[in-house]
Structure formats: structure tokens, C-alpha cells
Amino acid sequence: MPDEGFIGIARPSEEAELPPLVPGLISTVLVTEGQYVSKGTPLIALDDQVPRARLQAATVEAGLTGALKRAQVDLRMAESRLERLRFAVQSGAGAVFELEEAESVVEQTRAVVQQQSDLLRAAEANRQLAEAQLKQYTVHAPFDGVVTTIHQRSGMVEPSRPVVAIANLNRLDVELHLPSRLYGKIKTGQTLPLLASSPVHQPISGNVVSVSPVINAASDTFRCRLEILNANKLLPAGFTVRLDSSNKNVATVGI
């Protein structure tokens, strides 16, 4: 079979078209096309005045601990009075009805402490929700990569339309469809020599990361996926590659 049957395209190992999570008005484009970014880097920010104000209010509410502290002080005082009355009743110097009344006050005060604690927990949960909602107004990079396209730089945006695209070029994936006679000779972990087309124009190598166990009956081929390491990011994506049939390592598998 001629070399033309072993041609594939070097594609990014990861690609993502990123829409905003919420509708809104673009405030700032924080990156440029061609810029390399790390996972989590903010790419595009929407106008977040309303959710930011909501978070500030929720933060203040979650920090209002005065009512709980007062209830805790009241509880300590009620428990202290209850202990004194118990001692007095045991020594015959106190009335039983006063003891029962003090026990009731302690239970009521404990209920107030619990209520204030619950309110603070709810306020903290509301603060965390407001914080999460605020983060939705910024589009972040889901992985390390390069910004390939900025689709929109101003105006209203919707979650149904991507505003920026990112690709991971640290590794490039190549899919080859090889003749069935080579099945069993190409194995995972094997390194195969490749010839890259324009604009690379040089020999490179690809590591076999998967070999399909299914033979396509129509074409009598099987799918093989290779990985080209590109940590220095000198290789672009989109160029074609083919197996280098002149290489002795390729000849040994009968290509």
C-alpha cells in the first residue's frame, strides 16, 4: 500500500469552545489570540456589578454574629443560675418551682442559640452561593493551552454561543488508518517515525497511545492513534503527517 494511505492530521490533544455560563455584557477581554494560558486563567469577564454587590451583602450577613454571642451569654447565665438553684433545692434552701422555671429558661435559651447558629449557617451557605454565582461571570481556561480564537469582544453574550476558543498544544494527536495486515505489529507504547508536511517539513516521532481492536470491513483498515510530544510548543496544529516508510524501524513491521 502506498504511503498516501498512512496520512493523518496533527490535532491539539484538547480543544474547547467556551461560552459564558450566564448571559451578560462583556466587560473585559483579558487575553489575546495566540497567548498561552494556564488552567484557571480568566479569559473574558462579564459585567458583574449585581452579583458582586450580592456577594458583599451576603458576606456582611454571614458575619453578623452578635445575636449568637448574646444568646450564648444568656445561656451561660441561665445554666449558672440553674446550678445554683439545684444546690439550693438539695440543701433545702430553694423552691422546686424556681428550679423548674430555671430549667425551662435554659431550654428556651438553648433553642435561641441553636436558632442563631442555624441562621448563621444559612447565611454562610448563601455567601458561598453568591461567591459561586460571581465566578460564573468570568470565562476561565479549563486546561493549559493557547487562545486560538476570540469570537466576541464586546456586547451581549449568551451561554449558547462560545466567546473564546482554546487548544492544548503540549501534545498533538494523530489518527491513522492502517491496513489490516499490520494489525498486531503496531502496539501501544511503540514509537513510529513520521514525516511532517508544511510548515514543519521535518522528521518527527509519534508514540502509539491506542490501537483499535476493530477492523473496518469496508476499508480493511484499523484505527491507530499516535501522540506527538510538543512541550516546547514549536509545532503548530493542523499539519499533515505520514509514516516514514524509508525508516528502518517502519520497515521492520512490514510497511
**All three cell numbers of 118:** 442555624
pLDDT of residue 2: 43
Query: How do residues 139-167 score in pLDDT, each as one tens digit?
Result: 999 999 999 999 999 999 999 999 999 99
Q: Find out whether 44 and 24 touch, Cβ atoms under 8 Å.
A: no
What values do phi and psi take at 110, rounded to 5? Answer: -60, -40
Domain 51-135 in CATH 2.60.120: no
Say how far apart CA 14 and CA 25 lie, in whole Å: 28
Report the pLDDT value the prediction gives residue 145, as an integer from 0 to 100.
95
- Give CA–CA dist 248/192, Å, rounded: 10
Say whether 51-135 and 15-46+138-164 share the same fold: no
Model pLDDT for residues 26-43, shown as the tens digit of each residue: 999 999 999 999 999 999
pTM beyond 0.75: the answer is: no
Which residue's entry shows cell 439545684?
86
For residue range 101-127, list pLDDT tens digits in order.
Answer: 888 999 999 999 999 999 999 999 999
In DSSP terms, which residues pair with 24 in a beta bridge? 157
pLDDT at 252 over 80: no
* Pairing between β-strand 42-46 and β-strand 138-140 as defined by DSSP bridges: antiparallel
**How do strand 191-196 and strand 203-216 relate by DSSP bridges?**
antiparallel
Structural domain boundaries in the chain: 3-13+169-251, 15-46+138-164, 51-135
Pick the CATH number of 3-13+169-251 from 3.40.630.10, 3.40.50.2300, 3.40.50.300, 2.40.30.170: 2.40.30.170
The single residue listed with the C-alpha cell 464586546 is 154
The CATH number of the domain covering residues in 15-46+138-164: 2.40.50.100
Rounded CA-CA distance 129/94 in Å is 52
Of 88, 109, 108, the residue nearest 99 (C-alpha): 88
Would the pLDDT of 3 be above 80?
no
CB-based burial, 150-168: b 16+ in 10 Å, e otherwise? beeeeeebeeeebbbbbbb
